[in-house]
Chains A and B, each alone.
Chain A
Amino acid sequence: MSIRELTCIGCPVGCALEVTLDGEKVISVTGNTCKIGENYGTKECTNPTRVVTSSVLVSGGDSEILPVKTKSDIPKNMIYDCVKALKGVIVKAPVHIGDVVLKNVLGTGVDIIATKNIKAVH
């Protein structure tokens, strides 16, 4: 049995978590004040994930930069490769929040989506 101390990143409260592990198996999560903390504690010790936010280039829009994010969390060890996969991506304006910018990034099954509206300019 081992104990891992974590800070929950689920919300700004930042609960101090203690995750009790038997090898790689999570026995219990304590210190959390809501369900988010329990899920985060378990996930962080088994399959840590993050939502990745970055930006790509836009052509023909009222802005040259489009902020984007992974539609849901992806494995933490894929953050750098995810951002690398966005290099060279150029989106044509107009763009709407939620538009898919890159499908199934790195085979994760997660799409990269736009997080800002960009109008087309002529």
Chain B
Amino acid sequence: MQEYDLIIIGGGPAGLAAAVSAKEQGIDSILILERDNQLGGILNQCIHNGFGLHTFKEELTGPEYSQRFIDKVIDLGIEYKLNTMVLDVNEDKQVTAVNSDDGILELKAKAIILAMGCRERPRGALNIPGARCAGIYTAGTAQKYVNVEGLMPGKVVVILGSGDIGLIMARRMTLEGANVKACVELMPHSSGLKRNIVQCLDDFNIPLKLSTTIINIHGHDRLCGVTIAQVDDNRKPIKGSEEYIACDTLLLSVGLLPENELSRKANVKLSKVTGGPLVDERMQTSIPGIFTCGNVLHVHDLVDNVTTESYTAGKNAADSIKGIYKTGKTVEVIATGGVRYTVPTTINPENIGNGIDVRFRVGEVHKAAYISVYFDDTREMHLKKKILTPGEMESVKLTKAVFDKYSDCTKITIKVEKE
């Protein structure tokens, strides 16, 4: 059994940044395992620009952003294996993987970073009635066809859901000659970034139909159309509002789910809200020595945030290998009152340096509201927000000084308040 200090599962933006960070902390024995034939993960198919404004202070495309980290990984001499599928991870930090050069690989590590990313919710997760015909793709699958394989999935398109990948594909398919009829969103607001509504839909006069969904799919061999209808406040279709749209392609952009099959095998405790592992202030899961970061932990809007988070995970994994971290009293972080979840869910203030960013999402749109942070029953922070939406991740910075002020605190509560 070959041994490494650190094994990183996944060579996308999270795994690459975590590897670079751990290496910079002096860990030399690192292995990245990647199932695709290249490093970079999903950024390879995100050929649009808008990445890296925070990290590099310039707007890059996905492949340009990932190449910066691939170059670092190569310059630092970090070992990686492509076309390698991890089959199993266990609590003893043993990793079983397979590829066609090595056959079965039995590996062991002092620390593991789970960085497997997420996958798209497919049609089966939606229960849309209608024909099970060809022509229905997740938006990310279509993105891979167009941007990596050079294939067009169809000519006349309807998009269900207004997640960012759907919006980006509305523009991309239009530029490649398709007629994108509409983007249909069940909720009264889009889950995508505002800038993408402007530059992907508005720029191309593609209608965004809010509080609307698909109630039937038509077609025998190939999709020939969908029936859409408006929905009421309970998201039930409104009779009489039905409309038929002829199309040969339906793209689904209806959410992403962290991909945690391997985490489950290692008995890592998962959040019921995000589907990703529960982590402490060091990005460590419930299994000591197993860390996580990126979209496998919780789905991010911005790769810049993935990079920041993964640097933290990489550094903490390095500290864990070196044995330099504190154990002891932890404070629980509770999400309530409109806040769906937080990352992390426990904090040991001894391990946060000058402070820690707690990231979270709200469940619905709140206008002119406050983010409040309570230390036990005392409201310590009260931050005014013009708007909070489920589509945009929020964060609050909790400084070490605040933890020192409330040294007996056992729980921190984060919630949305009207005043």
**Interface positions of A (Cβ within 8 A of B):** 6-12, 14, 50-55, 57, 63-65, 67, 69, 76, 79-80, 83, 97, 115-117
Q: Find B194's partner among A14, A53, A76, A79 (CB 8 Å cutoff).
A: A14
B198 at the interface (CB under 8 A from A): yes
Most buried by A among B63, B146, B149, B301: B63
- Contact of A67 with B147 at beta-carbon distance under 8 Å, contacts A51-B49, A117-B67 already known: yes
Give the residues in chain B near A51, CB-CB below 8 Å: 49, 59
Give the residues in chain A near B198, CB-CB below 8 Å: 6-7, 9, 14
Return the chain A residue nearest B54 by Cβ.
Answer: A11
A50 to B148, CA, bound (A): 23
Give the residues in chain B near A11, CB-CB below 8 Å: 53, 195
Q: Find B199's partner among A50, A69, A115, A116 (CB 8 Å cutoff).
A: A50
Give the residues in chain B near A117, CB-CB below 8 Å: 67
Query: What are 16 inter-chain pairs, A to B, with CB distance below 8 A?
Result: A9-B199, A10-B195, A11-B53, A11-B195, A12-B53, A50-B203, A54-B47, A64-B149, A65-B147, A65-B149, A67-B147, A83-B176, A115-B60, A115-B63, A115-B64, A116-B67
Give the residues in chain B near A52, CB-CB below 8 Å: 175
A79 and B175 contact, CB distance less than 8 A: yes
A36 to B235, CA, bound (A): 38
Return the chain B residue nearest A36 by Cβ.
Answer: B53
B216 at the interface (CB under 8 A from A): no
- Contact of A53 with B61 at beta-carbon distance under 8 Å, contacts A8-B195, A12-B302 already known: yes
Q: How far is the CB of B128 from chain A (nearest CB, A)?
A: 30
A12 and B149 contact, CB distance less than 8 A: no
**Interface positions of B (Cβ within 8 A of A):** 44, 47-50, 53, 59-61, 63-64, 67, 146-150, 175-176, 193-195, 197-199, 203, 301-302, 392
Give the residues in chain B near A14, CB-CB below 8 Å: 193-195, 198
What would 8 more interface pairs be, CB under 8 Å, given A11-B195, A69-B49? A7-B194, A7-B195, A51-B49, A55-B147, A64-B149, A64-B150, A80-B175, A115-B47
Most buried by B among A6, A10, A63, A67: A67
B63 and A67 contact, CB distance less than 8 A: yes
Give the residues in chain A near B61, CB-CB below 8 Å: 53, 67, 69, 115
A11 to B304, CA, bound (A): 12
A73 to B195, CA, bound (A): 16
Q: Find B392's partner among A12, A69, A115 (CB 8 Å cutoff).
A: A12
Give the residues in chain A near B392, CB-CB below 8 Å: 12
B150 and A65 contact, CB distance less than 8 A: yes
Q: How far is the CB of A116 from chain B (nearest CB, A)?
A: 4
Give the residues in chain B near A53, CB-CB below 8 Å: 47-49, 61
Q: Find B150's partner among A7, A10, A57 (CB 8 Å cutoff).
A: A57
Give the residues in chain A near B176, CB-CB below 8 Å: 54, 83
B193 and A12 contact, CB distance less than 8 A: yes
Return the chain B residue nearest A44 by Cβ.
Answer: B198
Give the residues in chain B near A6, CB-CB below 8 Å: 198
A44 to B47, CA, bound (A): 24
Q: How far is the CB of A7 from chain B (nearest CB, A)?
A: 5
Q: How far is the CB of A120 from chain B (nearest CB, A)?
A: 15
A7 and B63 contact, CB distance less than 8 A: no
A55 and B63 contact, CB distance less than 8 A: no
Give the residues in chain A near B59, CB-CB below 8 Å: 51
Return the chain A residue nearest B193 by Cβ.
Answer: A12
Q: How far is the CB of B144 from chain A (nearest CB, A)?
A: 10
A110 to B102, CA, bound (A): 47
Give the residues in chain A near B302, CB-CB below 8 Å: 12
A116 to B53, CA, bound (A): 19
